[in-house]
Amino acid sequence: MAQQEPLSSVYNAIRILREFTLEDKELGITELSQRLGLAKSTIFRLVNTLNGNNLVEKNMYTHKYHLGIGAFELGFAAYHGNELRLIAYPLLNKLMNTVREAVHLGVYDHGEVVFLCKRVPDNHKGTVSKIGKRIPSHCTASGKVLLAHQSDQEINRIIQLGLERYTQKTISDGGVLTEQLRDVRKNGYAIGMAEYNEGVCSIAVPVVNDNGRVIAAISLAMTKSYLYPVQIQNYVKDLKTYSRLITERLT
């Protein structure tokens, strides 16, 4: 038991840190207690420890907490030390200049996609995901590319959790999603037709390492309600070219 308690405390401290997002920048003790199902006294003790290490800071006006400079330092080190992002960034910049659409690099994490970097042309209009933002995997092109290459067990887990509907075009049926993921593996790309955001379409292809394992996805996002087959094939050709270039630089 003496060994389990510190591990439990570390785990719960991590859970607290992960509650802070771009949407929820500030949270109070009561909110954290309700979200995590932990006693206020436990939250208070853990938050004080995090505060003492500058991982969270207290807003003296609202009495709520937000991520601190220590969290920024860790995130900055992780962001700028990520080899995949460093290699992909200049190539994504060239891709963006070629297609003149928003370009993203994303990785899979527990049923969601986390964007490591993006390139957006000047005067680009429409919804573009932020770096570090999480988006669901079942209704986005990047997500479907990455989910398609997960184990059957992981795919079933995501389906069992429930496929939340975000627009009228969101796939919420597990059987339909499973069939679409088979097509993604066969064709080597995925399409999102306004399934997450109204009026936003996306196309994505996988990025593999030198062992052939899918480690990321690169995608284009554009403010269109529909893509014609010839447009899709042209975009896919460009995406696959840059995906290969990223793989070559990883080896």
Radius of gyration in angstroms for the set of CA atoms belonging to the chain, rounded to a whole number: 20
Tokens of 26: 């500030």
- The sign of the torsion formed by the CA atoms of 156, 214, 116, 9 equals positive
Residue 228: its pLDDT value, please?
Answer: 85
Strand ranges (E), the chain: 56-58, 65-67, 102-109, 112-119, 134-136, 190-193, 201-208, 214-222
Q: Is residue 80 within a helix (H) or strand (E), and if so which, with residue range?
A: helix 69-81
Residue 7: its pLDDT value, please?
Answer: 67
Residue 107: its pLDDT value, please?
Answer: 93
Residue 128: its pLDDT value, please?
Answer: 56
Q: Which of 120, 146, 135 is nearest to 205 (CA)?
A: 146
Residue 76: its pLDDT value, please?
Answer: 76
| DSSP secondary structure letter of residue 214 | E
pLDDT per residue rounded down to tens, the chain (251 residues): 444 445 688 889 989 988 888 788 999 999 999 999 999 999 999 999 999 998 999 999 999 999 988 888 887 777 666 788 888 999 999 999 999 999 999 999 989 999 988 888 877 665 556 777 788 999 999 999 999 999 999 999 999 999 999 999 999 999 999 999 999 999 999 999 989 988 889 999 999 998 889 999 999 998 877 788 899 999 999 999 999 999 998 86
The answer to whether 61 and 21 have CB atoms below 8 angstroms apart is no
Close Cβ partners of 115 (under 8 Å, ≥ 6 residues apart):
104, 105, 106, 129, 130, 131, 132, 133, 135
The torsion angle over the Cα atoms of residues 195, 198, 201 and 206, rounded to 10 degrees, is -40
**Which phi and psi angles does 138 have, rounded to 5°?**
-80, -10
Residue 166: its pLDDT value, please?
Answer: 93
Residue 2: its pLDDT value, please?
Answer: 43
Helix, strand or coil, per DSSP, at residue 219: strand
